Structure 1
């Protein structure tokens, strides 16, 4: 029988990238969903005969359940996840269907992880945060931790060119991430950090070089300490061109919290930013770079292992992250009942194999 994959929100930029990856690496029948039937049908047609479109709103609970029940795996790509409950995951557990998502916010991740016992009892493998960052970035950290005898500090930095090839939903996610301070583990203590603060210059591989990055609220800030016995986890994000960083920093620092928590404000900022990046993308590109540095001890000495990744299209690389795990679930190479962050579920050997099959190069080396 042919495997069946349901991609909720699959007609968007990230969801369609996941679908494209599955078309390239599996023979599954793929159903992508969305609320706009004309746009969704057009996306499905572009992706080819393996893909069909289903008009679906997440509020249509019975239609959602029927779609999930007829699938072998469900992939949730309908962000922003700041607004989402865990109804898709809950329904997957009830129907005994494996689950992945591209979630990128701590509030949703916490909701999902609360279903760990239920998923384990149901024999359902559910993995959250599976895109590019979080996602591939988490596996790069695991790869680094395994190089050391003892890991103490994780420093993750991300940079995206322009829009990253994603849609306006990603812009909304960026500005929603400015709304609240967040907790991060620093020197063994949980400290409150302001989003888009403490600019730091990090050296990425070409074409990025020295680029400014800022504190940013990511699920990795608490899933990585839960996975690895480290004392510090730093997650920082930046944009290219650099003036986007300064604009975002200015909004985060000087706009009143009440204003930033207004839905109309988020929509205004997202729309303006989307129009701006549509123009600057032709100059900046839409790529992504990740730098993971894990510091600890090796052979009794202090050591740091640094790994980096660069890809020319952020949305496509997110598709690789999620699609590769879906491929492993479908072919039976990965099975881990429960709800997990990606670094808790995906072994490094399988991560390296699937990235190599997609032509993704991860450079790793010891640094002084």
Structure 2
């Protein structure tokens, strides 16, 4: 029986990945975490093919020993703003495949720098899996493949309340507000400020009109390198809209020294999580991705539109990582090196995986633009 080690497996995202793996593979799943009681409860809830291993990422010898027993390692211990690549490096040293749910371009950049080492070791490592990034990257690949030429991409994400995720995701949100970031616009890197350029877009049911803002995501960097695009825009928003207003005030009203202080991030993450525990009862915890691509087809300017919706952002993230883990375990995905999702996973692999999970993408016909 194959064994999958999920680092950070007792969190909401890690547990969702485990659920998907247990449903779609015959693998044994080992969850790691720092809290034994919570870990034992999580493993027991998942069933007999799941077990818990107490582990702190600072315990390097114990981490190395755990990785040595696994056929695949899934890194789900965020926030990735505060992580280095030691888990990936250990996998490369020991020759084991790897994937993660990283969502920070600084981490992504460090991971991609290990491509040559992974190729030499015969290790396939996929970064930025999950829902966004992850499924979102594959939406772009699908759209690029549908056109003769793709010029501009906008990925827009909304999450209802907490998204069903834990406080770690809240920390990630506030860490992402701290610094301006580079965006690929009109063929050059330009600096933009997070949570600016408010825009109203129409998302699939049940969301309808919702507001999104500039937000730094690693796919803003990887998509610009993966495809010959002139523009890549990534925007994010929350339902209900008053959370967007509060986030905007946080990003632009607090002094930078205050916003960047770890105690501030922790306070904001916990108070936000407490608030969403209340509002989730009314809004749900779903996610919607809207992908808009401008390009040409048969000499005509066209707009390619696609979308993905799920009633739980946490479960969707588990699916987005879980199906790629399934591909790695089966040998269907074997591409030594370190890659973002759109460079490693084919459109047919994504669509087949969604079909097996009774999910689908929304892809209306191309729209001509004159």
TM-score, length basis structure 2: 0.99
Summarize deviations over 1:297-354 as a string: whole Å, max 9, x none.
1001111110011100000000000000000111111111000001010011111100
Asked if 1:334 is matched to 2:333, the reply is yes
Inter-partner Cα distance in structure 1 for 2:159 and 2:5: 28
Q: Partner of 1:50 in structure 2?
A: 49
Which ranges of structure 2 fall in alignment gaps of 5 or more residues?
Answer: none
Q: Partner of 1:67 in structure 2?
A: 66
Which ranges of structure 1 fall in alignment gaps of 5 or more residues?
Answer: none
Q: How does 1:172-183 map to 2 (within 5 A)?
A: 172-183=171-182
- Residue 258 of structure 1: CA displacement? 1.0
Summarize deviations over 1:252-305 as a string: whole Å, max 9, x none.
111111111100000010010000000000000000000001111100111111
Per the alignment, in what secondary structure is the counterpart of residue 362 of structure 2? strand
Does the 8 Å contact 2:148/2:297 carry over to 1? Answer: yes
Summarize deviations over 1:85-142 as a string: whole Å, max 9, x none.
0000000000000000000001110111110100011000000000100000000110
- Residue 367 of structure 1: CA displacement? 2.8
Q: How does 1:61-100 map to 2 (within 5 A)?
A: 61-100=60-99
Inter-partner Cα distance in structure 2 for 1:356 and 1:104: 25
Does the 8 Å contact 2:13/2:317 carry over to 1? Answer: yes
- Residue 171 of structure 1: CA displacement? 0.3
Per the alignment, in what secondary structure is the counterpart of residue 295 of structure 2? strand
Q: How does 1:1-368 map to 2 (within 5 A)?
A: 2-365=1-364, 366-368=366-368
Inter-partner Cα distance in structure 1 for 2:359 and 2:111: 29
Per the alignment, in what secondary structure is the counterpart of residue 155 of structure 2? strand
- Residue 65 of structure 1: CA displacement? 0.4
Inter-partner Cα distance in structure 2 for 1:40 and 1:367: 49
- Residue 46 of structure 1: CA displacement? 0.4
Inter-partner Cα distance in structure 1 for 2:255 and 2:132: 28
Question: How many residues are aligned here?
Answer: 367
Per the alignment, in what secondary structure is the counterpart of residue 364 of structure 1? coil
Inter-partner Cα distance in structure 2 for 1:202 and 1:139: 21
CA RMSD of aligned residues (A): 0.6
TM-score, length basis structure 1: 0.99
Per the alignment, in what secondary structure is the counterpart of residue 283 of structure 1? helix
Greater CA drift, 25-34 or 354-363: 354-363
- Residue 189 of structure 1: CA displacement? 1.6
Per the alignment, in what secondary structure is the counterpart of residue 74 of structure 1? strand
Inter-partner Cα distance in structure 2 for 1:259 and 1:192: 22
Per the alignment, in what secondary structure is the counterpart of residue 183 of structure 1? strand
Inter-partner Cα distance in structure 2 for 1:304 and 1:96: 43
Per the alignment, in what secondary structure is the counterpart of residue 333 of structure 1? coil
Does the 8 Å contact 2:21/2:27 carry over to 1? Answer: yes
- Residue 167 of structure 1: CA displacement? 0.3
Inter-partner Cα distance in structure 1 for 2:255 and 2:262: 14
Inter-partner Cα distance in structure 2 for 1:69 and 1:357: 31
Summarize deviations over 1:59-88 as a string: whole Å, max 9, x none.
000100010011000000000000000000
4+ aligned runs moved over 2 Å, structure 1: none
